[in-house]
Every structure is written in structure tokens, then in C-alpha cells.
Amino acid sequence: MDRVRLGLAVGRRVGSAVRRNRLRRRLREWFRHNRDRLRESFGEDIDVVVIARAGAAELSWRELTEELGALVASPRGGREGKQGAIPGGPGVAR
């Protein structure tokens, strides 16, 4: 079916409603720009789930795109036992 979907979980620990919504918009924008790259890296049908942690809202756009890009560029997209690489940001296991 060739679909790439995004799921976001941005809880209250991330910040106020304004900060959470801004982070969601930024994550959706990154996803929109990288949908084809994700499809090429992982195949036709993929579901991407981003779990934002406290501190994620403080990342600049550049930091956010670099960190998410590094996860996509890693050999298995960071899927081997670790959930992410952003300190205090999306996808980090605590």
C-alpha cells in the first residue's frame, strides 16, 4: 500500500500546551520533509512513533532535525535495543 505514518505522544511533562503544540507542529514538518527518505530506508509500509520527553521543546529546529536525521541514518534506525538518541528529547528511554 506504500504508506508512511506518524504517531506523536507529547505529554504534559514537555511543557505548557503552547510548547507541546509547537513541538508537534515541528515534528510533523520534519516528517513531511523526510517521508520519502524514511520510505527508502525502511520500506514501503512504516509507522513512525515519536515519544517526546521533557526537554524536547527546548531543542532548536537545527538540533531537532540533526537528531532525528541521525536516527534515520543509523544502520537500523536506532531499532536495536535503544529507543533514540536525543538527550531529554523524543524517543529517549529513561
Check residue 27 and give its pLDDT: 96
**Identity (one letter) of the amino acid at 9?**
A
Tens of pLDDT, residue by residue over 32-49, are 999 888 888 887 788 889
Check residue 61 and give its pLDDT: 94
Mean pLDDT computed over 36-64: 88
In whole angstroms, give the CA distance from residue 74 to residue 83. 12
Check residue 76 and give its pLDDT: 55
For the chain, the structural domain boundaries read 4-73
4-73 maps to which CATH number? Answer: 3.30.230.10
Check residue 81 and give its pLDDT: 41
Mean pLDDT computed over 58-79: 79
Check residue 92 and give its pLDDT: 42
Q: From the CB of residue 61, how many other CB atoms can be counted at a distance below 10 Å?
A: 10
Quote the cell numbers at residue 86: 536525543
